[in-house]
Amino acid sequence: MAEDTGRMSKTRKIVIIISCVVLLAGIGIMAFPYLQQWVYDRSARSIADKFDQWRQEQVETADDTGERIPYLQELYAAMQAYNLDLYKNGQEGFRDAWSYQESSFDLAAWGVKDNMVGYIDIPQMNVKLPIYLGATTENMKYGAVHLTQTSLPIGGQNTNSVIAAHRGYSGAAMFRDIEILEIGDEITITNLWETMVYRVAEIKVIRPNETNEVLIQKGRDLVTLITCHPYRYNYQRYVVYCERVDD
């Protein structure tokens, strides 16, 4: 009798242990996506913070006249010239999808690491992402990307900078919740020189080949967000047009 009681006690302990292991495993499986998102958010925000710190160091570095270091002025002028040329030639190279992967500038030559031109902050989506030049597979793993043959994200009349990101990638939200955005919501783009504020002005769903829908619009200063649609599919594009807000 004592033997039977002992066996039952051992069996009960084993059942309890197995139940606890299964419960903890279940909790771990459910929590894993949230942990992935938390890790990615920390990494993305850290990259943005380091960009701000580096940018501030460059701004504070001055020559004997007290002016901002010359190469940043030259880079800004080169980017403005690129945007103006795009507008004048009607973005003729925008038809070639492969060109999106070719970066517009080699920012490393200007002392800027990883071809990171700045970062985007979307409070409504609780998302802050670095922006890399060129929509390469590698760049899209780590943040948002600027589509080549669209205006560089420095603002200005007759510009439309198209920024793309995955609709969720390896647990990171990225542009997953883009449908939360509504007309009037604000986003910011921080580049090497300033933080620019844009407001959602229009939202569309388009086909992938409707490139005319994301071209420069005369007289406007736009940032256009684009991602796959519907969620988890890839046969349409969800497009959010954001217009610059005057300081």
Q: Model confidence over 169-223: pLDDT tens digits?
A: 777 889 999 999 999 999 999 998 999 999 999 999 999 889 899 999 999 999 9
Q: Which two tokens stand for residue 237?
A: 């594009």
Query: Could you state, in chain order, the average pLDDT of each consecutive group of 10 residues for the chain (247 residues)?
Result: 56 59 48 51 78 74 51 87 93 68 74 87 95 90 91 96 89 91 97 95 94 94 95 90 89
Q: Which two tokens stand for residue 183?
A: 């007309």
Rounded CA separation 176/156 (Å): 28
Rounded CA separation 183/203 (Å): 8
Tell me, what's the pLDDT at 60?
61
Tell me, what's the pLDDT at 28?
42
Tell me, what's the pLDDT at 29?
47
Residue 232's identity, in one-letter code, is R
Q: Report CA-CA distances (Å) from 52 to 4, 100, 178.
A: 70, 26, 25
One-character DSSP codes across 117-146 = EEEEEEGGGTEEEEEEES--HHHHHHSEEE
144-146 and 127-133 strand pairing: parallel
